Structure 1
């Protein structure tokens, strides 16, 4: 009998090894995606994908793979990555049979209630109809005084600190965007600009993004149960405390009678019998706050860094801004629309340093789909990878260079930019689920840049030239301090 048990114990791992090897063999040689281009190791297992994701280097590796294998690359047994404008339209565009969001990537909200980012098609359409009122052109005009108030706080704080030397613009731009969007979502801001420090809720955002990134990887390996051993209870508890705090702020705003034209004003004004429940309003306000704040701050940091490392572009934008206004009070959302070079700078910065640099994966529908002449079976994961698409040499002339003029109307059909595939760049995503707040984000960026460069001459501190190259990505870019010297402009 002892020999029987010993043989059985040897047999169990042997069967496991055989099953594992069989699965690897199937993925490489028998899988429906076996003919798609890509490295065999990535086709065999999701392990390489997870390794680079864990290191925060996946975006760089995927660009390398796309340069080697082409615009469609198999990056996991069941996943294809694309880098073309046609893939944007096929995967994310308006269609009768929607490509649903990948369920592993579409993580639940803290309360389990659907928000606009993870909702099914019917729920998404209903919520988007209501939320769209808060992001209309009319709403944006009425929200301008609130936006200007927070930018004025930023300018005052920078002015008081600029004589001392180093100013970390990553921190201060985060303070601005979180205070501003928090005020719009909750009716009360975090006080970051007033205190000159991160609120606990804001400080926890990167940790929350990293935790969600690992949760995604655990799901791929069916190891959800390991999360409680890997993620500290203290960390999870602190984040849940901050989530509850934000939801309580939403509740207070919903009960408050006020004429201020923030997000809640428009959401509640349009909330008819087909409207959102209080629980849906809570989770949407929380998600809009996180997504809108982090992305705008990241965009502003990237724009400033790229300008400061390209002096000719910086000088041209400064000249445009200071020549467009007679005084700082003249800087408005409406007048900022006339700054064509600024718009080109913003577009080029979003290409080189997109706040959302990852893939937003979808699942192919029943019956499969043809994407860029590739027949993809049903229930495969597909998506356009932002970072790789924007830097692919087939899509742009000198893709690694900061060249804002490629976006100017006069240069679009002229050498050397006549073959640039500008439709590839979709920093706010594409189709019926694209970002609702893109007009607000661009207005906020234009106003902040205009007022910052009207008031100050900005220079990078020494040792900052590799600020962008040093960054890792886990959900959000992990931005180190961006130390700058600000000198107030003297005007007669």
Structure 2
């Protein structure tokens, strides 16, 4: 059949394509001119490409080295850096206060951004953006972290830690050397299950990863990819297209397991005598929350415990590369407690070297080294007026590793946290700005479980350092700061240690 083309049709199609292409070019030029010279953030310095695109932001996150990139940016551009067309990051403690405690004293609040949104119907406490929903959930959960409740959790923590210590002691591998990071991941996940649901996942006992732990280990890379793709609306659907099957399977398996555990926990609510976090949500028989809500809350709470595995791994790494600090800590513990069984939280709170060590580990390795983004209501941040709708955040890693706020910021120096009247306190740290150290955030959205975090870290570090002698075997190959990667959660390098049980000489 002959090809019958209407007169002028080909030319019209080409003309339309040319016009469309010209419009795109014109729009891009006009948008670039606006972003570079007329946008409210035009006066703020930063990488040139960041002013007109989210490419810089995306590249740094996908590289796994976003906190280090921010540190370099602050050194090059100053205390405020434009990292995307509509986003600023601040380094000063004053900016941190202005952003995260903004709703105090009647000031307008900086609302949480969508960075940590899960996309589920019910968000967990950490990702919930709705102020009223967050406030209600926090109010329900708050009694779980009261001093009285923490006291009730102590036997559970000691039991799980003792099981972990015993497993390390009895494992043939530890004498030859093991990567301690997976051990901490399993132990903290078990503890998170015990305290959240009254259900130990038995990662340590079985020597295998529970589906929930497997999901936590796999989700970081994809969550980072999805966060970046969210900045590119046309490409965002690809974040699901490129979701690795193993990640999808582990997530759905963990979600299914969580739903079953929650259903069991709800059905057994009258029979449980031990305290766990879910107790707080199940008190009102006439208004029990949906299972989906409980699954989201439990998931975030277990994740919070799991994330302490990074702090514990970092702590062992720092202590085994600083023999004198380890000796002082072990001497304090073994002098205070004549036997392992004597270790109690009441006495641990008063040990200066133990508590100083924990603070220094968290300073060097905080679980949230990036800023939790907030949306400006149109307010001042450290003297800079930030227009409504602009995304702002801090960067904890850059702040705690800055010579502006800490002397010898890259060195592991627990001495800086000792009481100033302590014989071993070093006055070269008098100038440290402790307001720059806020590992658990601040304001109405600060970490509700920070007292629990310190409780767990004190017991875990005390028992491990009392019970064992530690030797780092890959000291010459591994550099903690160099080898770390961040994909929403930390990806830790191998910390290969030999563990020898301590025996007190009579």
TM-score of the alignment, normalized to the shorter chain, above 0.5: yes
Q: CA deviation at 1:153?
A: 1.0
**Matched-pair contact (CA < 8 Å) for 1:56–1:473:** yes
Closer, same or farther: CA 411–51 of 1 in aligned 2, 3 Å: farther
Q: CA deviation at 1:274?
A: 7.5
2:230 partner SS: helix
1:373 is aligned to 2:389: no
Q: Equivalents in 1 of 2:500, 2:136: separation in Å?
A: 49
- Aligned mate of 2:113, from 82, 102, 125: 102
- Aligned mate of 1:70, from 57, 68, 78: 78
1:331 is aligned to 2:338: no
Q: CA deviation at 1:233?
A: 4.4
| Of 429-438 and 206-215, the range deviating more from structure 2 | 206-215
| Of 453-462 and 243-252, the range deviating more from structure 2 | 243-252
Look up the match of 2:499. Answer: 486
Task: Calculate the aligned-residue CA RMSD, in Å.
Answer: 2.0
Q: CA deviation at 1:296?
A: 0.9
Look up the match of 2:219. Answer: 208
Look up the match of 2:126. Answer: 117
Q: Equivalents in 2 of 1:273, 1:417: separation in Å?
A: 55
1:142-157 equivalences in 2 (<5 Å)? 142-157=152-167
Q: Equivalents in 1 of 2:28, 2:496: separation in Å?
A: 50
Q: Equivalents in 1 of 2:389, 2:157: separation in Å?
A: 43
1:406 is aligned to 2:419: no
2:470 partner SS: strand
1:138-287 equivalences in 2 (<5 Å)? 138-161=148-171, 164-222=175-233, 223-233=235-245, 235-256=247-268, 257-269=271-283, 271=284, 276-287=289-300
Q: Equivalents in 1 of 2:295, 2:212: separation in Å?
A: 16
Closer, same or farther: CA 182–20 of 1 in aligned 2, 3 Å: same
**Matched-pair contact (CA < 8 Å) for 2:407–2:432:** yes
- Aligned mate of 1:35, from 28, 43, 49: 43
1:485 partner SS: strand
Q: CA deviation at 1:278?
A: 4.1
Look up the match of 1:395. Answer: 405
1:128-143 equivalences in 2 (<5 Å)? 128-143=138-153
* Number of equivalent positions: 486
Q: Equivalents in 2 of 1:388, 1:467: separation in Å?
A: 16
1:114 partner SS: coil
Q: TM-score, normalised by structure 1?
A: 0.94
1:91 partner SS: helix
Q: Equivalents in 2 of 1:82, 1:346: separation in Å?
A: 26
Q: CA deviation at 1:375?
A: 0.9
**Matched-pair contact (CA < 8 Å) for 2:379–2:388:** yes
Give a deviation string over 1:8-43, Cα, whole Å, max 9, x none: 323333332332233222211111011112222222
Q: CA deviation at 1:167?
A: 2.0
Q: TM-score, normalised by structure 2?
A: 0.91
Look up the match of 1:471. Answer: 484
**Matched-pair contact (CA < 8 Å) for 2:89–2:392:** yes
**Matched-pair contact (CA < 8 Å) for 1:45–1:76:** yes
Structure with bigger gyration radius = 2
Q: CA deviation at 1:359?
A: 1.4
Give a deviation string over 1:159-211, Cα, whole Å, max 9, x none: 11256411221011111100011122222222111012222321221322222
Q: CA deviation at 1:109?
A: 5.0
Q: Equivalents in 1 of 2:119, 2:263: separation in Å?
A: 17
Q: Equivalents in 2 of 1:53, 1:45: separation in Å?
A: 14
**Matched-pair contact (CA < 8 Å) for 1:135–1:439:** yes
- Aligned mate of 1:21, from 8, 29, 50: 29
Look up the match of 2:11. Answer: 3
**Matched-pair contact (CA < 8 Å) for 1:161–1:167:** no
Structure 1 stretches of 5 or more lacking a match?
none
Q: Equivalents in 2 of 1:473, 1:411: separation in Å?
A: 38
Q: Equivalents in 2 of 1:288, 1:109: separation in Å?
A: 18
Closer, same or farther: CA 382–275 of 1 in aligned 2, 3 Å: farther
Q: CA deviation at 1:275?
A: 7.2
Closer, same or farther: CA 411–298 of 1 in aligned 2, 3 Å: farther
